[in-house]
Amino acid sequence: MGGGGMPATMPTVALLGAGATFPAPLIQTWTVQFNQMYSGVTISYNPIGSGGGIQQISRKTVDFGASDAPLSNAQLAAAPGLTLFPETLGGVAITYNLVPFGLANGTVLNFTPNVIVGIYYGTITHWNDPAIAAINPGVTLPINLITAVHRSDGSGTTYAFTNFLSDVNINWATEVGYATSVKWPVDTAMNANGVGAKGNAGVAGTVAQTPGAIGYVDLIYAVQNHLGVGAVMNAAGNYVSPSLQTILWAAQNATGTPNPADLRLHIVNAQGAQSYPIATYTYMLTYRDMSLNPDLTQQKATVLAYFFWWEVHGGQQYSSGLDYVSLPANVVAADEQFLLTLNYQGTQLLPSSLMPG
């Protein structure tokens, strides 16, 4: 029973979602919880990457998608009727593996945006580079080569990370840009070492196994893998470590009043003294008129709509336990307005009575 206006029972229905790896632990926990509430409803979520989520929902081979990267206007145009709403948010952590080279466990290194840009450009190649040393006084940096790990698959984490790099560095913006997958200069730079790995999983695993490696992963993967996590200088000039709190501050300071008609929210490099600069919403992808997906009957569409509703309400209680940030109240309100526009050939799927007050 979902409480708060959710129906008492639901029919036996199987639904399929696919997309980003970042929210996978949370979404899969949600589907398991939802199945415990409604034993006939089995919603399977397959983490194949943000790009995959966009691809499969555009082709209507899945019932819903999930992506860390907001859909571009071109992608929205290519799949008429496709929309999105944020269901959780996270941050991209800069992780590194330097304990084998003598750094004390738990040492927090400072990074300015331009240092990170330099590492992934391949211009900063060793850990004891003056640029890194200058902002980390008191830390004895090793002389070793930096192995810069990045994603080899299409990824919303890459999107958020490169979005941040493009925001802070004009060269990166023009020469590399931001996307779910980019051509990493560090891969081909002289004397530098770039390595690709698949999934947040792969990057975290590669960093964990490679002394001297640095990588960008969703915060939760860094925490769970006990990797060193860096503090990044934000727009206010402070070095901020990623945490549920600093990411929430970024969201609260940047979001303003979200527009339910377009819920693509840009919170990279947010204002606020302690806002974490590489924060990102992650989105669920669905057709506003669910009948556009031939596999969805009205019954299945209704169940799916209720699942979405539960995600942003009852589901949020599971967020912090899994190291995800709960949606700020204004975003939940915007999501509610959005979810009420979900329909099946014009018939609104969720009753307006669900809205509180």
Considering only residues 169 through 228, tell me which ones interact with another protein, judged by CB under 8 A.
174-177, 179-183, 187-188, 193-202, 204-206, 208-210, 212-213, 221, 224-225
What minimum distance in Å lies between the beta carbon of 86 and another protein?
19
What minimum distance in Å lies between the beta carbon of 243 and another protein?
19
**By CB under 8 A, which span of 11-19, 83-91, 278-286, 338-346 interacts with another protein?**
11-19
Nearer to another protein, 185 or 272 (CB): 185
9 binds another protein (CB under 8 A): no
The residues in 293-352 that bind another protein, with binding defined as CB under 8 A, are: 294-295
According to CB under 8 A, which one of 32, 134, 261, 273 is a site residue for another protein? Answer: 32
The residues in 12-31 that bind another protein, with binding defined as CB under 8 A, are: 12, 14, 16, 18, 24-25, 28-29, 31
Nearer to another protein, 27 or 240 (CB): 27
The residues in 225-254 that bind another protein, with binding defined as CB under 8 A, are: 225
Binding mask 68-107 for another protein (x = CB under 8 A): -------x--xx----------------------------
Nearer to another protein, 55 or 110 (CB): 55
Task: Return d(Cα 349, Cα 339) in angstroms, integer.
Answer: 9
126 binds another protein (CB under 8 A): no
Three-class SS string for the chain?
CCCCCCCCCCCCEEEEEEECCCCHHHHHHHHHHHHHHCCCEEEEEEECCHHHHHHHHHCCCCCEEEECCCCCHHHHHHCCCEEEEEEEEEEEEEEECCHHHCCCCCCCCEECHHHHHHHHHCCCCECCCHHHHHHCCCCCCCCCECEEEEECCCCHHHHHHHHHHHHHCHHHHHHCCCCCCCCCHHHHCCCCEEEEECHHHHHHHHHHHCCCEEEEEEHHHHHHCCCEECEEECCCCCEECCCHHHHHHHHHHHHCCCECCECCCCCCCCCCCCCCCCEEEEEEEEECEHHHCCCCCHHHHHHHHHHHHHHHCHHHHHCHHHCCECCCHHHHHHHHHHHCCCEECCEECCCHHHCCC
55 binds another protein (CB under 8 A): yes
54 binds another protein (CB under 8 A): yes
What minimum distance in Å lies between the beta carbon of 51 and another protein?
4
Query: What is the chain's length?
Result: 357
46 binds another protein (CB under 8 A): yes
What minimum distance in Å lies between the beta carbon of 290 and another protein?
14
152 binds another protein (CB under 8 A): yes
According to CB under 8 A, which one of 37, 44, 141, 238 is a site residue for another protein? Answer: 44
